[in-house]
Homo-oligomer: A and B are copies of this chain.
Amino acid sequence: MNDVAAAAGVALKTVSRVVNNEPGVNAATALRVHAAIDRLGYRRNDSARTLRRGRTASIGLVIEDAADVFYSSLSRAVEETALHHGCLLFTGSSQEDAARERDLVLAFCARRVDGLIIVPAGTDHTYLAPEFEAGTRAVFADRPPGAGCEADVVLSDNVGGARAGTAHLIAHGHRRVAFLGDLPRIFTAAERLRGYREALAAAGLPYDEDLVAMGPAEPARLRADLTRLLGASDPPTALLTGNGRTTVETLRALASITGSAPGPVTTGAFPDRAPPGLGGLALVGFDDFELADLLGVTVVAQDPARLGRTAADLLFLRLAGDDGPVTRFELPTRLIPRGSGERPPPPRRDRG
Using CB atoms and an 8 Å cutoff, list the residues of chain A in contact with chain B: 41, 43-48, 50-51, 56, 58, 65-69, 72-73, 75-76, 79-80, 83, 88-93, 106-112, 130-131, 133-134, 248, 251-252, 255, 259-267, 276-277, 289-291, 293-296, 305
Whether B263 contacts A267 by the Cβ 8 Å rule is no
Asked, given contacts A47-B50, A262-B264, whether A89 binds B88 with beta carbons under 8 Å apart, the answer is no
Give Cα A109–Cα B43 distance, bound, in whole angstroms. 9
Whether B72 contacts A66 by the Cβ 8 Å rule is yes
- In-complex Cβ contact of A76 among B66, B89, B134 (8 A): B66
Q: A51: shortest Cβ distance to chain B, in Å? A: 5
Whether B69 contacts A65 by the Cβ 8 Å rule is no
| Chain B, residue nearest A289 (CB) | B290
User: Can you sample 24 A-B contacts with CB below 8 Å?
Assistant: A43-B110, A43-B131, A44-B110, A45-B51, A46-B110, A47-B51, A47-B111, A58-B111, A66-B75, A67-B75, A69-B72, A72-B75, A75-B91, A76-B93, A88-B90, A88-B92, A88-B107, A251-B294, A252-B293, A259-B267, A260-B266, A260-B267, A261-B296, A264-B276
Q: A239: shortest Cβ distance to chain B, in Å? A: 16
Whether A72 contacts B79 by the Cβ 8 Å rule is no
Give Cα A305–Cα B67 distance, bound, in whole angstroms. 9
Whether B83 contacts A76 by the Cβ 8 Å rule is no
Give Cα A65–Cα B290 distance, bound, in whole angstroms. 16
Whether A261 contacts B259 by the Cβ 8 Å rule is no
Contacts of A65 in B (CB 8 A): 76
- In-complex Cβ contact of A261 among B83, B134, B260, B265 (8 A): B265
Whether A91 contacts B112 by the Cβ 8 Å rule is no
Give Cα A51–Cα B263 distance, bound, in whole angstroms. 58
Whether A41 contacts B134 by the Cβ 8 Å rule is yes
Contacts of A260 in B (CB 8 A): 264, 266-267
Counting from the closest, the 3 A-B pairs by CB-CB distance are A261-B264, A72-B72, A67-B76
Contacts of A75 in B (CB 8 A): 66-67, 72, 91
Whether A91 contacts B93 by the Cβ 8 Å rule is no
Whether A47 contacts B56 by the Cβ 8 Å rule is yes
Whether B89 contacts A90 by the Cβ 8 Å rule is yes
- In-complex Cβ contact of A277 among B44, B91, B262, B264 (8 A): B264
Q: A135: shortest Cβ distance to chain B, in Å? A: 12
Give Cα A45–Cα B41 distance, bound, in whole angstroms. 29
Give Cα A295–Cα B277 distance, bound, in whole angstroms. 12
| Chain B, residue nearest A261 (CB) | B264
Give Cα A73–Cα B66 distance, bound, in whole angstroms. 7
Contacts of A295 in B (CB 8 A): 261, 291, 294-295
Q: A81: shortest Cβ distance to chain B, in Å? A: 12
| Chain B, residue nearest A87 (CB) | B107
